[in-house]
Every structure is written in C-alpha cells, then in structure tokens.
Amino acid sequence: MPTTAASNNNIYDLIVVGSGPAGQKAAICAAKMRKKVAVVERKRTIGGVCVHTGTTPSKTFREAILYLSGLRQRTFYGRGYALKENISMQDLVFRADSVMAREIEVIKAQLRRNRVTVYEGNARFLDPHSMEVASDEGYTLLRGTNFVIACGTRPAHSADIPIDGKRIFDSDQVHELEELPRELIVVGAGIIGLEYASMFAALGVKVTLLDQRSILLDFVDHEIVESLCFQLRQLGTVFRLGEKVVQVGIDDDRDRVFAKLESGKTVHGAALLYAVGRQANSDQLNLESIGLVPDSRGKIIVDENFKTSIPHIYAAGDVIGFPALASTSMEQGRLASCHIFGVPGTIPPNLIPYGVYTIPEISMVGATEEQLTRDKVPYESGISRYAELAKGQMLGDDQGFLKLLFDPGSLKLLGVHIIGERAAEIVHIGQAVLTMGGTIEYFRDTVFNYPTLAEAYKVAALDGLNKL
C-alpha cells in the first residue's frame, strides 16, 4: 500500500502516540492552547490499556464482585451471605463492558470537542519530524513539530510460559475467561497480581499467590501490608513468597495447570494468572530511525519535564516507568504538553497518592514509617480503627484503619496510610493537608460530617496528640 505524502492537512504542532490517559491529556492540553493536534491510536483501542484491559475493567470487576458476593454484608448476615449464588464471568464482564463502552464514548467526545484529529493505525517514526500511520486503508504520512510518545506497555511474556489465554492467562485476558476457575495460581504478587488474587478470593476461588520476593508491596507501610495478608488469608489465599517459579504448564493426565518452584514444590490449580511485569511498546515505534535509545525493558528515559534526549520529542505515562498509574500518566501527559508550549510544571514525587484496589483497598500518600526510620526523621503516629467509627461499623468493615505519621515537634503531617473501605477516596483529605504543609491540628480542629470514614482523621490526630 502506498504512503500518502504529508499534505498541509497532515502537519501538526503536536502528534501524540497513544490515546491512554497520558496521550489524551497531552492532546487536550495542547488543543486548549489552540495548537493543531493529532493522536494516533491502534484500531479499536481508543482510551488505551486503561479503558480496555487495565484500570476500567479491573476496577469494574471489583465493584461487581463486592456487590454480587455481598462480602461486606457478611459482617451482619453471616459468612454464607451472597447477593447472587453462582456468580459467573459473564456477570462481571457485563458490567465492565457497559462501563468501558461509556468511557470510550466520553473520550471520543472530549477529543472531538477539542478538535483533536484521531488517526487509527500503528504509528512509527520515519525521521525526527515524520511519522507513518499504517491502517487497513493504507499508509498516512504525518509531520509534527513536536511529539509526545504515550504508547504504554503490554504484559511481559516469557518464552517458557505457555500462555493460552484460557487456563494460563495474563491480565489482558482476564475478561475473556469463559468461566471462573475453582482454584487459581497467581504468579507475581505486584499490584496487578494482588488485586486480581483478592478479587478471585472474594468470589470463593481458592487462590495461591507465588512470588520470588519475600516482601509484598515494599513501597507500602508494613503494618498495612500485614493487615492485607491477614485479610487475604481469611479469604483462603495461600502465600508462597520467596519462591521462584521455574516452570509453568498443563498436566494433561490430570487436566490441571501447575507451577514448579525452585524449592522443589509443585503447586496445582485449575488456572494460572501470569502477572510478572510489563513490557513497554516502544519497540514498535522504529525509534532507531530517530536515534532514541530506550532502556533494556523498553522504557523511554525523560527529564523532569518529560523531555527525551531529542528536544522536540517527549514521553509520558507507563512507557517512562514508575509509578505507571493512570492517575500519574494523565498528569505527566498534561505537563509534557505544557512544557512543550512554554508552561512548565512538575509533579512533586512525595505527594503522589497510591491506590491499591485489593479487597480490602489500600491507599497512601507521603512517607512511610520505614522511609522515615531509614532517613532518621523523628515521627509519631496516630491510628484510627474503622471498628471504632460509626460509619465503619455501618459499612461492615471492622478491619480497616487509618494511620497518620507526623513530626512530634512541629506536628506537621508526614504521611497518611489507610487500609479499608474507600481508602482511595479519603486519602485525598490527607493529601490536601500534606500539600499545604499543614499540621495534624487541622484534623483536631475541623468538624467532619458524621458519620463518615473521613472522621478517622480526627480520631487518628487525637490518638497521635495523646501520645506526646
């Protein structure tokens, strides 16, 4: 198929590769500055991993599971309570599909409203200012003054892991499963592995979690991680940590999947989720043609303004690596465009909130006890347990807690760590105080709605102040 020459219509102030959170926000930000903007996205994947296989489907599954399983209601109605008996994959997929369809419409409308031109196809560089888009209709040549690479990642595969998308599957394939397995082996206890492990466990699936690391979520407060492990064990999850998986396969005689561990053990199950890392999509962009060299996992190296080693080419989102979240990707995309067009800004790294949507939910902002101890920063803590909050009891969460870390001299807030219902929502109260450089006196002196989980801040502040 012939390449069309770049007409004047195909010349842009900014070309964005990828329409995930980073690409969308980069494009819309530039369009708002009245720049001529194009987004290139592969066929039928507008919205990126975020909408199609990542955040949106997984978090909608989670909502569906919490609702249908009646997990939270069991505190009141007994361990056997469920809103629906025999929950199926179709029950979960039905809700996810409906949310995804609406999300896609919203994104398309936003891009259209802001006059961003969307090209459907695979983009690759031809030279530092030219890009070719290959689609079913042929090739289109685009020329750009500036670029934002927001091409995201895909699940990392290993040649010796026989992924078939049915019994041995990755996180992209979860919503294609035809039925819920009775037992599930999860290889990889990072955020994605843990989130899915907890969701399947909440559905009554017998989950075995394998990871060669002996400590889970090392960036999260250890007390919170201990509570997560305790609550997952209550749901029947078995942990095999510090164990390296050396082989995965299907035992045809027994019609079971298996994972062999370096220690000699073999774990059997009905299905296996392989959730060991992600690989950047930068290998498909012909970066060699422009002299941009990614690292060994394909991550693109950028400076604090998201600029690569080529001054008019920026990168944002998962392709630049940690923290690889939809939340941060959006902001990185926006800031990349701002910088390109002369409005600089940065993300303060210690003020990024983290949400881990396990069951129970975890969220945090600021320093952990471990970081403060390592850095020899004196601190005191204040804790509020959901079991002592009226709202916690009403919601049936008697395990959750919120922990504040603060400077015992100045009372300045240093960190907020929460596990339990709506953790990812209420963390933002603490984030606002932290961002303003506030003290925990704010929580003591503020009237909170009653009954709320937000009230946990006041209880934790009083607990902390009582310790001084």
Ligand X SMILES: Cc1cc2nc3c(=O)[nH]c(=O)nc-3n(C[C@H](O)[C@H](O)[C@H](O)COP(=O)(O)OP(=O)(O)OC[C@H]3O[C@@H](n4cnc5c(N)ncnc54)[C@H](O)[C@@H]3O)c2cc1C
> Contact residues for ligand X (CB under 6 A)?
17-23, 40-42, 45, 48-50, 54-55, 58-59, 122-123, 150-153, 171, 192, 281, 284-285, 317-319, 324-327, 329, 355, 357
In sequence order, the β-bridge partners of residue 397 are none
Nearer of residues 208 and 282 to ligand X, judged by Cβ: 282
DSSP for residue 5:
P
Nearer of residues 299 and 391 to ligand X, judged by Cβ: 299
For residue 195, give both structure tokens.
């989130």
For residue 55, give both structure tokens.
């955040």
Q: Is the omega angle on the peptide bond into residue 360 within 30 degrees of 0, that is, cis?
A: yes
Question: Which residue spans within 121-182 are E strands per DSSP?
Answer: 122-127, 130-135, 138-149, 153-155, 168-169
Give just the sign of the alpha carbon dihedral 408, 413, 419, 422.
positive
CA distance linking residue 52 with residue 348, whole number of Å: 29
State in angstroms the smallest separation of the CB of 303 from ligand X.
18
Nearer of residues 49 and 405 to ligand X, judged by Cβ: 49
State in angstroms the smallest separation of the CB of 379 from ligand X.
27
CA distance linking residue 58 with residue 188, whole number of Å: 16
Nearer of residues 327 and 371 to ligand X, judged by Cβ: 327
CA distance linking residue 301 with residue 92, whole number of Å: 38
State in angstroms the smallest separation of the CB of 20 from ligand X.
2
Nearer of residues 173 and 393 to ligand X, judged by Cβ: 173
Nearer of residues 20 and 360 to ligand X, judged by Cβ: 20
State in angstroms the smallest separation of the CB of 192 from ligand X.
5
CA distance linking residue 392 with residue 450, whole number of Å: 11
Nearer of residues 185 and 414 to ligand X, judged by Cβ: 185
In sequence order, the β-bridge partners of residue 146 are 14
CA distance linking residue 160 with residue 245, whole number of Å: 11
In sequence order, the β-bridge partners of residue 245 are 261
Provide the residue type at 49 as one letter: V
State in angstroms the smallest separation of the CB of 374 from ligand X.
26
Residues 6+ apart with CB under 8 A from 103: 47, 51, 56
**For residue 420, which of 228, 154, 252 has the smallest C-alpha distance?**
228
Nearer of residues 301 and 377 to ligand X, judged by Cβ: 301
Nearer of residues 103 and 397 to ligand X, judged by Cβ: 103
For residue 318, give both structure tokens.
């998962």
Residues 6+ apart with CB under 8 A from 175: 53, 57, 61, 89, 92, 93, 96
State in angstroms the smallest separation of the CB of 221 from ligand X.
19
Backbone torsions φ then ψ of 335, nearest 5 degrees: -70, -35
Q: How many CB atoms lie within 10 A of CB 343?
A: 12
State in angstroms the smallest separation of the CB of 343 from ligand X.
20
State in angstroms the smallest separation of the CB of 199 from ligand X.
10
Nearer of residues 298 and 415 to ligand X, judged by Cβ: 298
- DSSP string for 196-226: HHHHHHHTT-EEEEEES-SSSSTTS-HHHHH
Nearer of residues 60 and 69 to ligand X, judged by Cβ: 60
State in angstroms the smallest separation of the CB of 290 from ligand X.
14
Residue 79: burial class (beta carbons within 10 Å; 0-12, 13-18, 19+): exposed
Question: Which residue spans within 318-446 are E strands per DSSP?
Answer: 354-356, 362-366, 380-385, 401-406, 413-419
State in angstroms the smallest separation of the CB of 51 from ligand X.
7
Q: Which helix (H) or strand (E) holds 63?
A: helix 55-69
State in angstroms the smallest separation of the CB of 397 from ligand X.
19
**For residue 93, which of 65, 118, 135, 112 has the smallest C-alpha distance?**
65
State in angstroms the smallest separation of the CB of 93 from ligand X.
15
Nearer of residues 20 and 366 to ligand X, judged by Cβ: 20
Q: Is there a contact between 367 and 219 (Cβ–Cβ < 8 Å)?
A: no
